[in-house]
Amino acid sequence: MSSVGKFITFEGGEGAGKSTQVGLLAARLEAHGRRALKLREPGGTALGEQLRDLLKSRETLDLAVSAEALLFAACRAQLVGEVIRPQLQQGTFVLCDRFIDSTVAYQSGGRGLDRALIVAANRLACGTVQPDLTVLLDLDPAHGLGRASIRDHGKHDRFEALGEGFHRQVRAVYHELAAAEPQRFLVLDATRDPQTLSEEIWHEVSRRFL
């Protein structure tokens, strides 16, 4: 078994259940004697958590779209350098709730920014660090936004407040990304119960890495 860890990212729209599946997989890996680290984006570092508050706040609705994309890249650069790369070198399974694919889907698909520019900014932020597996939890945006509203007691953040049209564009780009890299992506129907999804994710992780 290689001493280098594995990097697994979880993607999907609002309310898809990403954080739930990150937690379930981490617990399963630890029960099998593997080190697992749970992360979220934006966040995961002191800088990232400060920028997370800014990026998700309804008080920054006037933030320029290009500034938004660059702030996400800045959060990611800090997370990769401070946490992800060192942990992978120590053999840890790093599980991240969102990564580069989110920025491509949201800022290119939803916001309409040039995808090549987003990819270039994230190449600078991440260097050679790329996910070994990306789990895409797919569901209709109307369903996901409804879940998110219940979870957050009706208090929408900046992205949840953008409406179904925006989130349908995001979902379409996720599908494009998954079709372009079928070996990296595991696409699952997120309307199913969390335990069923967890079993499918565990089967794939076991098959690939254990």
Amino acid making up residue 21? Q
Report, as ranges of residue numbers, the positions in the chain whose pLDDT lies below 70: 1-2, 148-150, 152-157
Residue 1 confidence (pLDDT): 43
Domain boundaries, the chain: 7-209
Look at residue 116 in the predicted model and tell me its pLDDT. Answer: 96
CA 20 → CA 48, 112, 140, 181, distances in Å?
21, 29, 18, 24
Q: In terms of residues, how long is the chain?
A: 210
pLDDT given for residue 151 in this prediction: 72
The confidence score (pLDDT) of residue 142 equals 85
Taking domain 7-209, whether its CATH number is 3.40.190.10 is answered by: no
For the stretch 12-62, pLDDT in tens is 998 899 999 999 999 999 999 999 999 999 999 999 999 999 998 888 878
Tokens (6 digits) for 188: 């699952």
Note whether 137 and 10 are within 8 A (CB).
Answer: yes
SS3 136: strand
Orientation of helix 164-180 relative to helix 141-151, angle to 10°? 120
CA distance 159 to 42: 13
Q: How far apart are CA 166 and CA 142, in angstroms?
A: 11
Q: pTM above 0.85?
A: yes
Query: How far is C-alpha 48 from the chain's CA centre?
Result: 14
Torsion, Cα 69 172 146 160, to 10 degrees, reads 10
The predicted pLDDT at position 162 comes to 83
CA distance 159 to 79: 21
Which of 158, 188, 193 lies closest to 174, judged by CA? 188
Beta-bridge mates of residue 97? 10, 40
Q: H/E element holding 36?
A: strand 36-40
Rounded-to-integer distance, Cα 158 and Cα 9, Å:
22
Q: What are phi and psi of 32, to 5 degrees?
A: -100, 20
pLDDT score of 148: 65
Token output for 78: 């800090």
Q: Which two tokens stand for residue 186?
A: 């595991």
